[in-house]
Amino acid sequence: MNDSHITIELVTSETQQEKYLQLPWSIYRDDQYWVPPQIDFQRDLLFLNKHPFNDHAVCQSWLAIRQGQVVGRITAIVNQLHLQQNSDETAFFGFFESVNSSEVARRLIDAAANWLGQQGIRRIRGPVNPSIHYEAGLLMRPCEPFFTSTYNHAYYPDLLVSCGLTRCHTMHSYCMPIDILDHLDPKILRTTRQVVERFEIRFRHFAADQFATDLRTYFDLYNKTLSSMWSFTPLPDREIEHEISWLQKIIVPELSVIADVDNTPVGAALGILDYNPILRNNNGQLFKHGDDRFQRDRAKIKQCRMFSAHVLPQYERWGIGPAMMMFILPACLKLGLEFVETSWIESTNLISQKTMLRAGGKARAEYAFYEKLLA
């Protein structure tokens, strides 16, 4: 295909916005693993300014056009909270899609980089859609994605490298069968029981009559415990409220846990059913056929994703994290689930990686982030 006639268009009109949003259906037309995105989320965030992320960020989007066809897209993201916390003159790119053409990718990256340079930015990093709190990273080896995980073609890493970006960080996910309890190292179960008894830890699921309160507790621990995570900035209150509103529609209480010591929350974990089969069948819409149909469809789901387990630093050595997982797994069995994915675990977190392997988990996916300095 002749790449000499590529044009880059700044997305301004509603027609361009719809072309931007619809592009993945073309890019992944024959891909067996691809799941249609929740397009309303992208529209609200990128073009309607309805998402609270826009309170502290500015986004600019472009399309790549070749012979009248849209063949790529990208969004540049200036996250003011990140700049305030890190003072590193770094901004981001996300929602990147491209045909297998290094020239298309280069023109898109250049468009984003040039605009960011005009904003005083010196480093571009990504992909994030639109931040580390949401879908982020480049999937290094295509596999069946879990709910809210990124997915891309196998050639995407090579495209970014051809544009002069280098890998700067890696996250991992692990997968384990729910019946792992029947084969678990007895030492792990014994240690978990001892931890609970010795420190009088009380575990409970999120309460159905106080989802919002328990979710706020979860996000409070989320912000407090991830402060040292790479490229992390605390999730602000308005985004937390937005996430709570969304999660209340899809949460299953049995996949959650709060750990209390002396009636004070010191740990929390949250799992979400893998809703991708519903998204695939409904072309990216969870509630396309109403709530009753949604409830029936989700009862058929056989796997879930554990987003993360958060424990306050002063309690990390107590073994509360593994104990929370042991609390959730029996509930997963009762729900008829067969597999659980845990993500993310940073490549530098060797202790957590070894813990997952020791517990019977298997490495499943690798997500990479890329960056480059701007001229």
Given pLDDT bands bounded at 50, 70 and 90, which one contains residue 343? confident
More reliable by pLDDT, 70 or 231? 70
Percent of residues, the chain, with pLDDT higher than 90: 75
Q: CB atoms < 10 A from the CB of 299, how many?
A: 10
Domains of the chain: 6-164 (3.40.630), 174-365 (3.40.630.30)
- Name the pairing type of β-strands 339-346 and 90-98: unpaired
Q: What is the mean pLDDT of the chain?
A: 92
Residue-wise pLDDT for 207-248, tens only, equals 988 999 999 999 999 999 998 888 899 999 999 999 999 999
Residue 90 has a pLDDT of 97
| HEC profile of the chain | CCCCCEEEEECCCHHHHHHHHHHHHHHCCCCCCCCCCCHHHHHHHHCCCCCHHHHCEEEEEEEEEECCEEEEEEEEEEEHHHHHHHCCCEEEEEEEEECCCHHHHHHHHHHHHHHHHHCCCCEEEECEECCCCCEECEECCCCCCCCCCCCCCCCHHHHHHHCCCEEEEEEEEEEEEHHHHHCCCHHHHHHHHHHHHHHCCEEECCCHHHHHHHHHHHHHHHHHHCCCCCCCCCCCHHHHHHHHHHHHHHCCHHHEEEEEECCEEEEEEEEEECCHHHHHHCCCCCCCCCHHHHHHHHCCCCEEEEEEEEECHHHHHHCHHHHHHHHHHHHHHHCCCCEEEEEEEECCCHHHHHHHHHCCCEEEEEEEEEEEECC
The model's pTM: 0.93
Rounded to whole angstroms, how far apart are CA atoms 344 and 341? 9
Residue-wise pLDDT for 104-149, tens only, equals 999 999 999 999 999 999 999 999 999 999 999 999 998 999 999 9
